Each structure stands twice: as structure tokens, then as C-alpha cells.
């Protein structure tokens, strides 16, 4: 017996999932897993006729099973799309002796479709759709051709690697951390950017003691935004933990918003943060009040988290800091870490004068056959 099974639908959560079982003995194997609500087993049901029943260990899931026509015996099981239901059906098939077909050989297009189902924003989805339609495959084929014709593929590989920085974040998003000394309005700004009151705002310095995180989007780019404890010395142990967490958060962030209070003179903590966080985007909050200092040197975005003034502008600046040069429609964008790593290795091989290795590495990405465009 050589029966395999494969999840045909996306591994992301959906309403319905479809599992295909095929190979000699597939129907017998499914009959050990599938319990029809009434009547005879699936093996004595004609091809193409839908049967309602249950499948899976324990009570299992309510499913539809159907024998498919074709030279290789095949069955399709449609179950509910939640991870537990899919897992129940697939585990039962495995226990009955079927082997899972790996998706390691799936094409770039199939991977893009799979990720598309998980895209958190329309902008992410549009880029993944371009790859599902063949943009990345076509670019890889062009590079393979230029290697074949002994042309220099370096710049094209470099362009793809740069695009990978955006591509790899299409699902997970970018991390943006709000930091600054206590009471400058970090939590108020966080809430203004989030669009609702998620974080506690309070005139007492040290109000925020933990890292508060939400998922949102700026200009269509998915973002994990975090509000952190105000940074200062000489504090109690709990606030200390919060401050340490804040420092960790800003080390891991793709972009740090350093919030200053425009209505109060800058103190030594502000100066230290300005010095330590050279790459941070400086936000001068409380612009609704008379200013207590003037900007020197470093660019700062004036906002009032209280009135909302300047927030739209800040969002546009954040967007352009995260992705200064967004991919255009139809452009090739590698979207998985393995893809970017393979392209990097191909680039290194080219630099070492080894086009053969570069071509093998690129082909291993499994681009679908080249299209005419």
C-alpha cells in the first residue's frame, strides 16, 4: 500500500479545508477513517457521489468524502477549516498509514498563494498576488538566462535582495517602538496612532510599566506598534523592569519613535536618548501648548497627540521611513526567508566566479515555467 495525503487548501485558517488522499489502497484506507452518517462504506459508493459523515480521532469532524475519477485511486475529504479540525482529519489519515505529501516541491506561485491567504493588509496582498501571478518566477528566469548567456546578473540579484527586505515583512510586519522619558505623551500618541484607547494615559509619570503592543498598518504596511515605559533613573523595581523591557524593545524595533515634550524644557534623559538613538524618528509632542524649546539640528515632527494635529503627517513619515522605495505594481519581490537566502547565496557564488552554483541555487527556488511577459 502506498497512500499519500495532502492539504490542498491554504494552511491558514479558512471556512473549509480540502485534503486529497491518493495511491493504491486509498479508498480502503479512507474507509478506516471515514464513518458515513448512514449506509454503506465509501468503497461501495460510486465515484463523484458526495458522502456525509465524520472523520478523525474521537468524535472527529463532520466531513464530506468523495471518490474521484481517474487512473490513480483518489479520495477528497472536505472538513472544517479551523486548525483543530484539519489536524484531526490529517492525524487520523497518518495513523491509518498514509504518508503526508510534502509541499517542498511547490512552486514560487503556490507559496505566494499560500501566503496571500494570510496577508494582513491589502498592500501586502497586492504584492503577494503579483508573485502568485509569476513576477518573481519571471525575474528568476531572466537571471538564469543571463547567467546562461554569460551576462552579469549581479545588479539584478542585488535588486531582488533589497526587495526581500520588504517581502519578508509582508506577513509579519514591521516593528515600531514608542520611547521617551515619562509623561511626554507616549501612551497618548500610541492611542492616537492606534485609533482607540488601548494604553493607559495618566499625568503621573511612570504610568506605563509594561510593553503594550497592537497590530496596525501605516500606509498599508502591517506594523506591530508598541508603547513602552518612560525611561528614567532611580525608580522602584517594577518600573525598572518596565524600563529594561523598553530598552530591549527599541533594540529590536525596525523604527523607534523618540517622543519629546515640546512644552517642557529638555532634561538630561531627553538629551541622553537623543544621543543614544541616532536613527530614531524624533516626535515633538504637545504642540497645542506654547513651546519651551526650539529645534536644534535634528529634524523633529511636531504633533499634538491630544488634538490629533500633525498625526497624519507623522504617519506618512513613518510609512516612508519603513519602506522608502516601495515596490511598483507587478514588480518581483522575494517574500520568504529561504528565497532571500538562496538569492544571497547565488549572489555570493557570482562574486566568487561560480555561475554554476548560482544557477543551481536559483533553480532550487522552483520558479514555475517562464511566461511570455
Considering only residues 183 through 242, tell me which ones interact with Mg ion, judged by CB under 5 A: 186-187, 207-208
Minimum gap (Å) between residue 175 Cβ and ligand GTP = 18
Distance of CA 256 to the CA centre of its chain: 20
Q: Which is nearer to ligand GTP, 111 or 187 (CB)?
A: 187
The count of chain residues that interact with Mg ion, using the rule CB under 5 A, is: 4
Residue 256 binding partner per list Mg ion, ligand GTP, none, with a CB distance cut-off of 5 to 8 Å that depends on partner kind? none
Closest CB to ligand GTP among residues 100, 268: 268
Shortest Cβ 29–Mg ion spacing (Å): 58
Per-residue contact track with Mg ion, 132 to 171, x per CB under 5 A? ----------------------------------------
Name the site residues for ligand GTP (rule: CB under 6 A).
Answer: 180, 182-188, 201-203, 205-208, 229-230, 285-286, 288-289, 304-306
Nearest approach, Cβ of 173 to ligand GTP (angstroms)? Answer: 23
Distance of alpha carbon 284 from alpha carbon 259, whole angstroms: 6
Distance CA 212, CA 200 (A): 10
Which residue is closest to Mg ion by CB? Answer: 208
* Cα 332 versus chain centre, distance: 17
Which C-beta is closer to ligand GTP: that of 242 or that of 334? 242
CB nearer to ligand GTP: give 121 or 285: 285
CB of 234 to Mg ion, least distance (A): 18
Rounded to whole angstroms, the Cα distance separating 269 from 349 reads 48
Give the integer Cα–Cα distance in Å for 55 and 96: 12
Report the Cα–Cα distance between both ends of the chain, in Å, rounded. 44
- Least spacing, CB of residue 174 vs ligand GTP, in Å: 21
Of all residues in this chain, which one has the CB nearest to ligand GTP in the complex?
230
Alpha helices by DSSP H, the chain: 26-31, 83-95, 108-116, 122-132, 135-148, 154-167, 186-194, 237-252, 268-276, 311-322, 337-351, 355-363
Site for Mg ion in 309-348 (CB under 5 A): none
Q: Please identify, using beta-carbon distances, which residue of 207 and 370 lies nearer to Mg ion.
A: 207
Q: Give whichever of 46 and 203 is closer to Mg ion, judged by the CB atom.
A: 203
Q: How far is CA 312 from CA 121, 189, 235, 258, 291, in A?
A: 19, 12, 35, 17, 21
Secondary structure of 150-218 in HEC code, one letter for each residue: CCCCHHHHHHHHHHHHHHCCCCCCEEEEEECCCCCCHHHHHHHHHCCCCCCCCCCCCCCCCCEEEEEEE
Interacting partner of 361 out of ligand GTP, Mg ion, none (Cβ under 5 to 8 A depending on kind)? none
Residue 271 binds what, of Mg ion, ligand GTP, none (CB under 5 to 8 Å, by partner type)? none
Closest CA to 256 of 274, 233, 272, 243: 274
Task: Return the ∠ at Cα 125 (arms to 368 and 337), rounded to 5°.
Answer: 60
- The distance of closest approach from Cβ of residue 191 to ligand GTP in the complex, given in angstroms and rounded to an integer, is 8
For residue 367, the partner it binds in ligand GTP, Mg ion, none, with Cβ less than 5 to 8 A by kind, is: none
3-state secondary structure of 51: strand
Q: Which stretch binds Mg ion (CB under 5 A): 17-25, 152-160, 182-190, 297-305?
A: 182-190
- Which residues of the chain form contacts with Mg ion (CB under 5 A)? 186-187, 207-208
Amino acid at each position: 500500500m502506498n497512500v499519500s495525503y495532502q492539504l490542498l487548501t491554504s494552511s491558514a485558517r479558512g471556512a473549509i479545508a480540502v485534503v486529497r488522499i491518493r495511491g493504491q489502497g486509498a479508498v480502503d484506507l479512507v474507509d478506516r477513517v471515514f464513518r458515513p452518517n448512514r449506509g454503506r462504506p465509501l468503497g461501495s459508493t460510486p465515484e463523484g457521489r458526495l458522502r456525509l459523515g465524520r472523520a478523525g480521532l474521537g468524535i472527529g469532524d463532520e466531513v464530506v468524502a468523495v471518490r474521484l475519477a481517474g487512473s490513480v485511486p483518489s479520495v477528497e475529504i472536505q472538513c472544517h477549516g479551523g486548525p483543530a479540525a484539519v489536524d484531526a482529519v490529517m492525524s487520523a489519515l497518518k495513523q491509518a498509514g498514509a504518508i503526508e505529501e510534502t509541499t517542498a516541491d511547490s512552486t514560487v506561485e503556490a507559496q505566494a498563494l499560500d501566503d496571500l491567504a494570510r496577508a494582513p493588509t491589502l498592500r501586502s496582498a497586492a504584492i503577494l498576488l503579483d508573485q502568485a501571478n509569476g513576477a518573481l518566477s519571471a525575474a528568476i528566469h531572466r537571471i538564469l538566462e543571463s547567467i546562461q548567456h554569460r551576462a552579469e546578473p549581479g545588479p539584478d540579484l542585488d535588486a531582488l535582495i533589497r526587495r526581500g527586505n520588504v517581502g519578508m515583512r509582508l506577513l509579519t510586519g514591521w516593528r515600531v517602538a514608542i520611547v521617551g522619558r515619562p509623561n511626554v505623551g507616549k501612551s497618548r500618541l500610541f492611542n492616537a496612532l492606534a485609533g482607540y484607547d488601548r494604553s493607559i494615559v495618566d499625568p503621573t509619570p511612570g504610568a506605563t510599566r509594561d510593553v503594550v503592543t497592537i497590530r496596525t498598518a501605516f500606509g498599508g504596511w502591517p506594523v506591530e506598534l508598541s508603547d513602552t515605559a518612560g525611561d528614567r533613573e532611580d525608580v522602584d523595581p517594577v518600573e525598572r523592569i518596565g524600563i529594561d523591557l523598553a530598552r530591549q524593545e527599541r533594540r529590536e524595533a525596525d523604527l523607534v519613535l523618540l517622543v519629546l515634550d515640546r512644552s517642557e524644557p529638555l532634561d538630561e534623559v531627553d538629551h541622553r536618548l537623543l544621543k543614544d538613538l541616532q536613527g530614531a524618528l524624533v516626535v515633538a509632542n504637545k504642540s497645542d501648548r506654547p513651546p519651551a524649546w526650539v529645534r536644534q539640528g535634528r529634524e523633529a515632527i511636531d504633533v499634538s497627540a491630544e488634538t490629533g494635529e500633525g498625526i497624519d503627517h507623522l504617519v506618512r513619515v513613518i510609512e516612508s521611513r519603513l519602506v522608502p522605495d516601495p515596490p511598483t505594481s507587478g514588480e518581483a519581490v522575494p517574500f520568504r526567508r529561504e528565497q532571500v537566502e538562496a538569492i544571497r547565496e547565488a549572489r555570493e557564488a557570482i562574486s566568487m566566479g561560480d555561475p554554476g552554483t548560482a544557477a543551481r541555487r536559483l533553480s532550487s527556488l522552483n520558479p514555475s515555467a517562464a511566461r511570455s511577459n
